[in-house]
A and B are shown apart, each in its own frame.
Chain A
């Protein structure tokens, strides 16, 4: 109660001070988990921020903080941003979920948008993209392209988002190549180029000739290039500097339209907390150009899958599917519902290794 009073007082004081100079500018805050120059996840969120600035010009002002650790520091940064007068704050990593909810409670007037989380409040909305659709396309290319039948996967943290990606990629690799085998390394980091490079090297040394990644830097691409005869995919960002090989395609996050829409809603006063989860269809997930290193027939097959996903004709998790332990999950023709997908904490049948709990 006391803290609330102090914060409210401070916010009021700052608000009064700020009102004099920037009355008509709406302040929009962004909290990033990595540096904006990471070439991947944070880079694309920052591209969204820049697009917002171009779109609204003088009507808004954006502030951002990069490389914010997921934890107590995030709460400090968020509080700071809210105190400095931000009206809408985007928090762009799963680990900011609880800090966002905590800070939102103290600032009911400030709107928050949390990426990839599941906890909402009156003033906290969530948004995410169906990356697993993109990973299904990558899995298909991986399954067709591998000669050693060993696909390496650099995973970050054992959260549903990452597990979903592994399952989607594996299912579609397996579909076109029954002999395919996945080796997963949990890096326990979103961004550590040296560790990602070492993980890629370890996978390559153990026979992988395709590397999929769910970490944010381009270090695995560099490692694959050094090894030769290994293909990779761009993650979050196109990573086209490594095309046509080792990077043969990519999943691109396209946040700009969403950011523009939500800021417009705040300006119009129509903003409401909701949950957005869009995929290839609405264009939130894009597939980067499939390079010339991929044979034409494989490319055509991948594009067909992409088209089916975009139109909604096909769902990546369609039965019959079993869980890793052999227990049935989806019956023939049954499609996974969003709640299961959002909380996915199991591997599908055929994957080896365990998800760290």
Chain B
């Protein structure tokens, strides 16, 4: 065992990178669920974003355009879900699962020409002397723009839901869509907007995977990240700050267990490999023990079909 081989500073920096795709997808899904829609298609939207972003970045040579295309592509895909569930009133769970399958297939189709290509490198932000600060510089000021964007997004969503009128309306739609409708709010329109936002965030997360974390396109490369994002929203009991905590916890444990193995720590490896999931379950259990609050915090209209006439 040689724990000195693990550099905590590098560890924290790489856990931030590892957690960013999940964080982006989860914060988007949080907004969708706050609006009362359960979209289980996060995995499908992420992988679609991954290939749209990758293709656009390769074709244009610009990672920024790639990220933009990823958001657009995944948002469009999520609007298919929106159309089906909000206008045609299909079952949200079934449609969400179908969206995942559709996204996986679609991305494989688009991606056929892109296997084995290399994307243009995403530049790290040059923060000048800031990144030269010992320890903090590496942790806080050495990343690419998307990491900061994801953090800003969490703050923005938090502020939006807590302090703005629009955020209040969104929450009202999620808590009681009939009441919101009676007050004259356009439930379907608001939900569609939330779904598109969730799609854009998932797409951005997917593109972060294909352009920065792995830098390449491989079929099925999200490998379940979308499902973890979904779990983290529940784990966070629909609170943005806890989404950040959950994503970093998951990313942190995942990166730490690999580092511990490389350092030869004599802990059962199966346990290490399962630890991110175990920690997630553990926290879920602890939080749901506080039954009243956790149950209350789920949006009351979550997953329910809305029809203006009822």
Chain A contact residues, CB within 8 Å of chain B: 34-39, 67, 152, 158, 183-189, 191-195, 197-199, 201-203, 205-208, 217-219, 222-223, 226, 241, 352-354, 356
Pick from A38, A186, A195: contact of B254, CB under 8 Å: A195
Q: Which of B248-293 contact A (CB under 8 A)?
A: 254-255, 258-259, 261-264, 266, 268-270, 273
Q: Given A67-B220, A198-B14, A199-B258, A226–B215 Cβ distance below 8 Å?
A: yes
Sample of 10 more A-B contacts, CB < 8 Å, known A186-B261, A205-B14: A35-B220, A37-B111, A37-B112, A37-B219, A152-B262, A183-B264, A186-B273, A195-B254, A219-B216, A356-B269
Contact in complex: A193, B5 (CB < 8 Å) = no
Contact in complex: A202, B223 (CB < 8 Å) = no
Q: Given A194-B209, A194-B213, A202-B262, A36–B219 Cβ distance below 8 Å?
A: yes
Minimal beta-carbon separation of A316 from chain B (angstroms): 25
Cα A341 to Cα B172 with chains together (Å):
64
Pick from B215, B219, B270, B273: contact of A222, CB under 8 Å: B215
Q: Which of A67, A158, A198, A203 has most chain B Cβ within 10 Å?
A: A198
Contacts of B269 in A (CB 8 A): 158, 186, 188, 356
Cα A199 to Cα B273 with chains together (Å):
12
Cα A207 to Cα B10 with chains together (Å):
13
Contacts of B209 in A (CB 8 A): 193-194
Contact in complex: A38, B218 (CB < 8 Å) = yes
Q: Which of B81-136 contact A (CB under 8 A)?
A: 108, 111-112, 115-118
Contact in complex: A194, B225 (CB < 8 Å) = yes
Cα A284 to Cα B66 with chains together (Å):
40
Pick from B111, B219, B270: contact of A188, CB under 8 Å: B270
Contacts of B214 in A (CB 8 A): 193-194, 197, 219, 222-223
Contact in complex: B220, A183 (CB < 8 Å) = no
Residue of A nearest to B4 (CB): A206
Contact in complex: B270, A193 (CB < 8 Å) = no
Cα A187 to Cα B223 with chains together (Å):
13
Minimal beta-carbon separation of B134 from chain A (angstroms): 18
Minimal beta-carbon separation of A182 from chain B (angstroms): 10
B6 at the interface (CB under 8 A from A): yes
Cα A35 to Cα B254 with chains together (Å):
23
Pick from A39, A194, A205: contact of B115, CB under 8 Å: A39
Chain B contact residues, CB within 8 Å of chain A: 5-7, 10, 14, 18, 21, 108, 111-112, 115-118, 209, 213-216, 218-225, 254-255, 258-259, 261-264, 266, 268-270, 273
Q: Given A183-B262, A198-B14, A217–B221 Cβ distance below 8 Å?
A: yes
Contact in complex: A193, B116 (CB < 8 Å) = no
Q: Given A39-B218, A188-B273, A241-B116, A194–B223 Cβ distance below 8 Å?
A: yes
Residue of A nearest to B258 (CB): A202
Residue of A nearest to B119 (CB): A222
Cα A135 to Cα B44 with chains together (Å):
36
In the complex, 26 of the A-B residue pairs with CB atoms within 8 angstroms, ordered by the A residue number, are: A37-B108, A37-B112, A152-B262, A185-B262, A186-B261, A189-B223, A191-B223, A193-B214, A193-B221, A194-B18, A194-B213, A194-B223, A194-B225, A197-B213, A198-B254, A198-B258, A202-B14, A202-B259, A202-B261, A205-B259, A206-B262, A222-B214, A241-B118, A354-B266, A356-B269, A356-B270
Contact in complex: B264, A353 (CB < 8 Å) = yes
Cα A207 to Cα B259 with chains together (Å):
12
Contacts of A191 in B (CB 8 A): 220, 223
Contacts of B266 in A (CB 8 A): 354
Contact in complex: A202, B221 (CB < 8 Å) = no
Contact in complex: A198, B262 (CB < 8 Å) = no
Pick from A35, A201, A354: contact of B14, CB under 8 Å: A201
Contacts of A188 in B (CB 8 A): 269-270, 273
Cα A214 to Cα B24 with chains together (Å):
30
Minimal beta-carbon separation of A148 from chain B (angstroms): 12
Contacts of A39 in B (CB 8 A): 115-116, 218
Minimal beta-carbon separation of A234 from chain B (angstroms): 11
Cα A59 to Cα B143 with chains together (Å):
56
